[in-house]
Chain A
């Protein structure tokens, strides 16, 4: 797993009083006028003096620090050697920590906009916290202009992003203004889209490529509500989806397959074709062994090999209606061959791994592999295809 967050050691005096978010530059010759807003990244270990004028400095080898006159010089753990020019980081002086917010060379950048949530899903990989993190909004708004305009897609995640209300609309406006060619993909439970004003305001941004990924775990209200541990969730999620589509917003249905959802997967597929044929994408996803999943493992785990017949039937139903379908987080050796054409390599690069069984597999390069967290538990049926 790639490290995106770590404590860092200040090597010189620091004058940071609050969180500092900035773009990283490895160019020692960048115009002086720009330097005070940048973090300088010294990647090589040559005994070279640090260039003057940068706000902060990231280095990997304190032995080669010849000049201790500059403030805000931090020692990064070696795992951060992937950092590159135009990446974005935030330094938290309170905890003496760094978090990498954007990697220019990765197609998998996502922004956590709040840790609050109005669902409490059995298998949440990012358990919600009831804290005040409204400060993140301004931080993100100031970060958007720093993001490389070559970014193809950025994910918005939480918590529940729609808890930001109108601030989320402000964010979409800024994305459209600064990054008109970047697709925005929002992970939301959709419940707050029962608020038609919020949906109208989002629609009026006329963002060129904005998609809402919304989970629907069952065609039966009580089962969905149980999985997300919230009463009225099914009711609000479906009304939210209808509101979004009635204003032509793009919607993706996301289904995590586990012990509570696999049995009615074909019925859910039929429900989608019957009621939600207008959605833009359906993603059928494997379980991630993170967060609450571990706590609820007994009521969630089923070997993916054991739900292939339900998955095949569900995909067949959706495909018959020519819906746009993807299967995420499933290893090819577990999937029925008829499903291979739907399998996507979807796991973010920083948490994507392969198991010892995979060595020698002839289709490893086409396979999406595992979440790093799968070391905790994965299918007994994983085998190299030779």
Chain B
């Protein structure tokens, strides 16, 4: 044994030699605050360094064996003589992050009707009266949409029914579900159905069909009764009451996790974030998606979009986030979904697959929209834009164009090529690029340019602030524990 003891070498003899400096792997850095930077690698792993530490790192003077040195080497920001496996690992991680691209389009939205009983001022759709059935999708169009969806190479296909108010054309939803199921006996894909509805027209017949065919429900809930009814007017002024009744009916029939809700933030909501969150908790939801208005459709016509700016939105969002974190600290699990998506990008090797935060943009290749009349749009927002007579993102029509013509169209491919944020000015050198994405429809709508000028972009400003805010929140150990629970692994 004494002979063996002599053979053991100290740690220093396995460290890189002082006179052969480490090498840098690709990474970006962006100011976090006056003296600190966020650094991210290609796979979205991040570190925070002071300016002095960053200077040392880049000038290759970082002392070997220090905590920063070890963290940087373990997260593949640098490598040295001891191992070059970092190159294999970073390549593997980058491929993993981008692997969703080969899956291609999963979400197929069918606008089964433009009719609606509500008259929400922020609505993204030019709604039609309840009894004008020429704005319903026909079976012929639906069949073509189904055939189109099954052309997608994706192993999982999600069929989402939208409106207008989708349940005003429930017969067609029923037809699509049954036809897809029949077709899937041969295709054998993972199929999911979701009905987006305001729940006014939910009935036992519909629920029993949903139960039998495992159809999920997605609805809108903007907050407590007064706020919700103000945001979502309908004859009878009882939208909130009907929505809550509907949610409870759905849960009763399909189970507690079968219904999800989305909220939209209006000017009237800005001072009410705690009320909105409390409403979600009261109604038994375990998460909320705090969403700003979209600059489309009625929102622009009724000028509700311009009613608040980025700063007001961020104040609302951060106040809400702080309140939700306090709720979690008191021992009740409740998540904010936008933060959850970004945290999942920061803390997992995979992509959560959120259409608005993808590079290239998720339009067409993550989700595609079939309008009631067979028009095919690259995204739901693209459809809204077309309602305003801007057909930039209309890819074709199910009656006139084949799958190959639409998916292979220059219209779509050009957008995708332009929205690789890895090469977009203002994005390619941003530390938050791995967490961010491209929203060409938004930038086209607001700046008349798909790529957009980032210093003037609400999208960029909003997301940069959210990323930085989350990085700072993660520095507090108690908050960190809570936020990590929101990560979808």
Contacts and interface: CB of A to CB of B under 8 A. Distances in A.
B489 A320 contact: yes
Interface stretch (A29-37, A49-57, A233-241, A359-367): A233-241
Given A234-B83, A234-B85, A267-B71, A242 B484 contact: no
Interface string A245-267: 00000000000000000001001
A271 B65 CA distance: 18
B88 interface: yes
A222 B15 contact: yes
B52 interface: no
Interface in B249-293: none
B7 A220 contact: no
A229 to B, nearest CB: 6
Contacts of B10: 226
A320 B487 contact: yes
A368 B487 CA distance: 33
Given A222-B14, A321-B348, A264 B489 contact: no
Interface residues of B, number: 35
B1 A242 contact: no
Contacts of A264: 70
B82 A229 contact: no
A305 interface: no
B7 A120 contact: yes
Interface residues of A, number: 32
Of residues B2, B83, B487, which shows the largest number of chain A Cβ atoms within 10 Å of its Cβ? B83
Contacts of A238: 83, 85, 88-89
Contacts of A277: 349
A70 interface: no
B7 to A, nearest CB: 7
B55 to A, nearest CB: 23
Contacts of B13: 226
Contacts of A267: 70-71, 74
A275 B89 contact: yes
B16 interface: yes
B70 to A, nearest CB: 5
A232 B65 CA distance: 17
A161 to B, nearest CB: 22
A273 B4 CA distance: 36
B120 to A, nearest CB: 39
Interface string B287-315: 00000000000000000000000000000
A122 interface: yes
A226 B487 CA distance: 34
Contacts of B8: 120, 122, 229, 295-296
B4 A292 contact: yes
A242 B73 CA distance: 18
A223 interface: yes
B85 A239 contact: yes
A121 B402 CA distance: 63
Contacts of A122: 8
B440 to A, nearest CB: 30
A179 B8 CA distance: 40
Interface in B75-107: 75, 80, 82-85, 88-89, 92-93
Nearest to B89: A275
A274 B93 contact: yes
A120 B8 CA distance: 8
Contact of B5 (A232, A239, A295): A295
A321 B489 contact: yes
A292 B1 CA distance: 8
Interface in B1-54: 1-2, 4-5, 7-11, 13-16, 43, 45
A223 B83 CA distance: 12
Of residues B2, B10, B74, B349, which shows the largest number of chain A Cβ atoms within 10 Å of its Cβ? B74
A221 interface: yes
A156 B84 CA distance: 30
A120 B7 CA distance: 9
A294 interface: yes
10 contacts: A219-B70, A219-B74, A221-B82, A223-B14, A229-B7, A235-B83, A239-B88, A242-B88, A273-B349, A275-B349
Given A239-B88, A242-B85, A274-B75, 14 more contacts: A120-B8, A219-B74, A221-B80, A222-B65, A222-B82, A223-B14, A226-B9, A234-B82, A234-B83, A242-B89, A274-B45, A274-B349, A275-B349, A322-B489
| Those 3 A-B pairs whose CB atoms lie nearest each other, nearest first | A235-B83, A221-B82, A219-B74
